[in-house]
């Protein structure tokens, strides 16, 4: 979850600063594991006043803003159809009987009847959110949902119980985790690819995407979320059933892009500063008895926007060498090695890179998922 902020050129407009009024909001998420019961979690962590939800429902997704007919289940909160989420808080719905399978898509619909104020949200996603005017909570069709944005509002997670899942893995980090570069609507991000791999083993793990594009270890950002060392408790330790966390962070700390408002305040960090922040995450995970997997910083040379300099490369190499060789992480996902061009290890290979020359494409995310031993995550 992030503070409300106006949309930009890269991710397009969003509704976070205006919030919602007499609206119905439908959002589609893909479950990583299945079960017999489900609940949702709603966040008002950045709200300035109470968030009043008139009603909520969950249904099997039929694609886009459609729901499969006769699959809609009303959600309750402490036995009531409506809910009020205090500012700064998150609440969970009551579990509802709902049989779900791994990798199934769920349509979650929220009904508002009064102004919400600015919305706690997630700025970038590859799955659109849909909005309709008035009450369309139970609509199976999509005709009323005439507006959409590529962002996520209030919905902090879906928890599934009663299946054969074996706990939860949290993928925590920046745009590599968030999924920048993945095909829109294709569930092709790294956490998606990892969930598919784990589901194929017959012992699925819940996979939580806790990535925020542009996120940094040491500084908050208006458009890239709270610093990772601050949000780790909420976004990792506070998730149900967590066993393991995968971390990819540091690229946005060491790069120097003075004109980027998302990298202010704070200047480029040294490798030593980045390593010290990683150690804070490792200590917090170990204190909870969690396994923690470090991910080397992806190749950055050749990006079509200015993120690379020889000094940045020097710091990146030092951070990656520490992640690989220090033994402080329980295991390593070597994104640098997996994504690097064999002819120039400072660049990503073209077959694995998105059109911006930096982020992985769908094939790159699949390659990263293959680089993780599923047994390491259990």
Q: Is 283 helix (H, G, I), strand (E, B) or coil?
A: helix
pLDDT of 267: 79
Residue 35, strand partner residues: 100
pLDDT of 8: 81
pLDDT of 265: 79
CB 243 within 8 A of CB 168: yes
- Torsional sign, CA 196, 161, 100, 177: negative
pLDDT of 11: 80
Mean pLDDT by 10 residues, the chain (378 residues): 90 94 98 95 97 97 96 97 98 95 96 97 95 98 97 97 91 98 96 95 90 96 95 96 97 84 83 98 98 98 92 98 98 98 97 97 98 92
Global pTM?
0.96
pLDDT of 107: 98
The domain spans of the chain are: 23-158, 164-377
pLDDT tens per residue, range 68-102: 999 999 999 999 999 999 999 999 999 999 999 99
pLDDT of 70: 93
Cα end-to-end span (Å), the chain: 26
pLDDT tens per residue, range 128-168: 999 999 999 999 999 999 999 999 999 999 999 998 888 99
Q: Is 333 helix (H, G, I), strand (E, B) or coil?
A: strand
Is the CATH number of domain 164-377 1.10.10.10? no
H helix or E strand, kind and range, residue 170: strand 168-173
pLDDT of 266: 80
What the block records as the tokens of 246 is 């995968």
pLDDT of 116: 98
pLDDT of 122: 97
- Torsional sign, CA 239, 241, 243, 244: negative
Pairing of strands 23-30, 129-133: antiparallel
């Amino acid at each position: 979850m992030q503070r409300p902020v106006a949309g930009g050129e890269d991710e397009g407009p969003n509704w976070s600063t205006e919030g919602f009024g007499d609206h119905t909001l439908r959002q589609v998420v893909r479950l990583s594991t299945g079960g017999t019961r489900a609940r949702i979690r709603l966040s008002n962590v950045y709200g300035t006043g109470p968030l009043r939800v008139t009603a909520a429902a969950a249904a099997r997704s039929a694609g886009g803003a459609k729901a499969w007919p006769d699959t809609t289940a009303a959600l309750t909160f402490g036995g009531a159809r409506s809910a009020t989420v205090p500012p700064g808080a998150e609440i969970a719905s009551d579990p509802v009987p709902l049989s779900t399978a791994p990798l199934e898509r769920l349509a979650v619909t929220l009904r508002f009847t009064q102004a919400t104020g600015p919305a706690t949200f997630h700025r970038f996603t590859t799955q659109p959110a849909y909005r309709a005017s008035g009450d369309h909570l139970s609509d199976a069709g999509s005709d009323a949902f005439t507006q959409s944005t590529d962002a996520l509002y209030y919905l902090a997670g879906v928890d599934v119980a009663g299946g054969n899942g074996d706990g939860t893995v949290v993928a925590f980090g920046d745009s590599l985790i968030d999924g920048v570069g993945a095909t829109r609507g294709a569930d092709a991000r790294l956490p998606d690819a990892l969930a598919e791999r784990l589901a194929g083993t017959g012992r699925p793990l819940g996979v939580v995407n806790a990535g925020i594009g542009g996120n940094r270890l040491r500084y908050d950002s208006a458009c890239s979320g709270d610093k990772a060392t601050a949000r780790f408790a909420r976004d990792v330790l506070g998730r149900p059933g967590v066993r393991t966390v995968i971390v990819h962070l540091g690229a946005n700390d060491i790069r120097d892009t003075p004109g980027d408002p998302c990298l202010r305040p704070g200047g480029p960090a040294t490798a030593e500063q980045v390593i010290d922040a990683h150690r804070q995450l490792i200590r917090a995970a170990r204190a909870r008895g969690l396994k923690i997997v470090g991910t080397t910083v992806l190749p950055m040379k050749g990006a079509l926007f200015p993120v690379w300099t020889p000094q940045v490369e020097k710091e990146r190499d030092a951070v990656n060498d520490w992640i690989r060789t220090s033994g402080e992480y329980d295991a390593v996902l070597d994104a640098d090695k997996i994504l690097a061009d064999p002819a120039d290890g400072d660049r990503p290979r073209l077959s694995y890179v998105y059109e911006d020359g930096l982020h992985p494409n769908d094939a790159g995310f699949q390659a990263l998922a293959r680089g993780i031993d599923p047994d390491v995550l259990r």
